[in-house]
Chains A and B, each alone.
Chain A
């Protein structure tokens, strides 16, 4: 994929095709060449657009303007006005009210280029994280002051509830509701824990927040503690993040010296004690009950739930566990109000999301954008296209426990509800972009190797299922797989989902499900034709593992 100024997409679902989408596409091709725009504007057909009344649709990116129904006669005007002169042809546009689903949402966003919008990463790279004064200059600890002085804990919870903030750890649970559960739980002693055990492959957003803006997390944890009635907290940082651990310890000391942490903060009577706890290398400790076990000095094995940590967590006391990115939103929400926060992102998933872009693209790294951006926009705008003009084949979203999604789903908005409707998991925000040189069997093998290594071994479906599916995939990659193997993989995937104790096991089967759903032909080529279409798998003809 080349980097181009604009992208033009023509709908190619059966209805659009029946109504002349191909002619529209050809007319566009001619017109772009005629005007000499074919080098700077890319043109492609996209399927899977769920709107019939206005097809064929023509979508122009990055402006997110949607025209329809378009006939070949309209093309010269659209190209001349919009693509050449940069003026939207208003009379040909589809009204957002007449569209449904994601197309409507895109259209309603017209004119708002999906620019980066930094809330979580606002101070990262801007301030010296080892100097509390720099944080204070950026309105630091202002939210804490106003909460402690001006509003009650219940009012604080209501602000967070009204903001619509949802947990950024992966599951997307409403944060305000979680706070309310802890606040309402029985017991004098309560805890607040920041989950900074960021171990999902491809994710390093939390590390940058911890390293770049540690005081934001301290401030947010204090606000959360005040709201739920806790007086002690832990930040559980994965052991590999040495710099984050030392910066956080330093920040805590500084906050204490300034009287912003400790006894009777701002003379309000509220006190808070905060500890840093370093992990020791275990993916599973990102699961909140395993994390609690680990802080208690045990193996990181998830507990059976219920009871949930909100009623019985650390030392069997009510415990609030929030992810780093979730917490980093809190001070900004308190300062600017719930309505401000709701104005960003999509109605059901307000705010921004931090994504890590990785893989075969020109620019890898971190972006913070409003919820609801599409994968196509991420690849073409922020990642500056695919590396070496290769073709986008699949994306792995949300780390190992996320989903493998094919190119045909790249116009799905990245927000909690659209993703769950499409059966895709947003997870941690990792976006691993892979080109046609990636083999899905090989990729699934790598993912299952991860899960068989990281399974804590407590429950059987996960301990044995991951091992077994890794063996099957290894044999398929050697060219000795069978049809029965594919049935077994499907069965293991279903059983992992239904029978595992914790989220790790429940999602471990999703790579299997996804490759069988979206890339079945490629998997079958390994099994039936003994060929790896991407030329990656060894295909030696010798089994590595014998069935037992």
Chain B
């Protein structure tokens, strides 16, 4: 079996397992997309087609849902996803300088993935940890009270 066909097989298996757990009711669509996103790192076209077939929901609907929510991605992302909170509480607490430093250190703009596929740099709205702004979240790790000087140190924790 070719590598491509194998991948296709994997996606089919993943979707099948998820549907066994969740069922095919449309209210389960977003929870299932969540799980696909964390298993594959993003929601591939293959996964959308597979899901459409098995749940009997049009691909257009699944695609429209997958592109609506910030936590779901239809594009591949880097190994580590950095989310920088750009809402007002973090901004007032000095977030602007942290953001400048992040962009400079990674040499990335908002929404970009690095060439070596290590980093994806995203901005996000409030993450609900405003007591310790400015906040950045890398994968599932939350860093609070971040200063520009800490940015290189934090980034060096990731392989």
Contact = CB atoms under 8 A, between A and B. Distances in A.
Given A283-B125, A400-B88, A358 B70 contact: no
A364 B31 contact: no
B26 to A, nearest CB: 4
Contacts of B72: 280-281
Interface residues of A, number: 49
Given A203-B130, A454-B125, A280 B88 contact: no
B69 A438 contact: no
Interface size of B as a range: 35 or more
Contacts of B61: 298
Interface string A318-362: 000000000000000000000000000000000000001011100
Interface stretch (A39-47, A129-137, A152-160, A289-297): A289-297
A280 B128 contact: no
Interface stretch (B8-16, B89-97, B147-155): B89-97
B18 to A, nearest CB: 14
Contacts of A298: 61, 65
B80 interface: no
A396 B89 CA distance: 9
B81 interface: no
B114 to A, nearest CB: 22
Contacts, number: 121
B104 interface: no
A430 B71 CA distance: 24
A200 to B, nearest CB: 7
B120 to A, nearest CB: 15
Contacts of A199: 125-126, 128
Contacts of A438: 92
B88 A447 contact: yes
B88 A202 contact: yes
A282 interface: yes
B56 to A, nearest CB: 12
Contact of B125 (A241, A294, A359, A453): A453
B34 A239 contact: yes
A242 B139 CA distance: 13
A297 B130 contact: no
A297 B88 contact: no
B101 to A, nearest CB: 17
B127 interface: yes
Contacts of B86: 446, 449-450
B125 A201 contact: yes
Interface in A241-289: 241-242, 277-283
A299 B72 CA distance: 12
Interface string A445-478: 0110110011010000000000000000000000
A25 B109 CA distance: 54
A399 B92 CA distance: 13
Contacts of A364: 130-131
B69 A300 contact: yes
Given A297-B65, A453-B125, A365 B131 contact: yes
B128 A238 contact: yes
A103 interface: no
Given A239-B34, A280-B69, A297-B65, A204 B88 contact: no
B2 interface: no
Given A201-B125, A359-B93, A432-B88, A300 B68 contact: yes
A96 to B, nearest CB: 36
A434 B68 contact: no
B75 interface: no
B156 interface: no
Interface of B: 25-31, 33-34, 57, 61, 64-65, 68-72, 86-89, 91-93, 124-131, 133, 140
24 contacts: A201-B88, A202-B130, A203-B130, A207-B128, A240-B128, A277-B30, A279-B30, A280-B34, A280-B72, A281-B71, A282-B68, A295-B27, A296-B26, A297-B57, A299-B64, A300-B68, A300-B69, A356-B130, A359-B89, A430-B89, A430-B130, A434-B92, A443-B92, A446-B87
Enumerate the 10 nearest inter-chain pairs by beta-carbon distance, A residue then B residue, closest first: A281-B70, A280-B69, A201-B87, A281-B71, A201-B126, A297-B29, A297-B26, A299-B68, A202-B89, A204-B128
Interface of A: 198-204, 207, 238-242, 277-283, 294-300, 356, 358-360, 364-366, 396, 399-400, 430, 432, 434, 438, 443, 446-447, 449-450, 453-454, 456
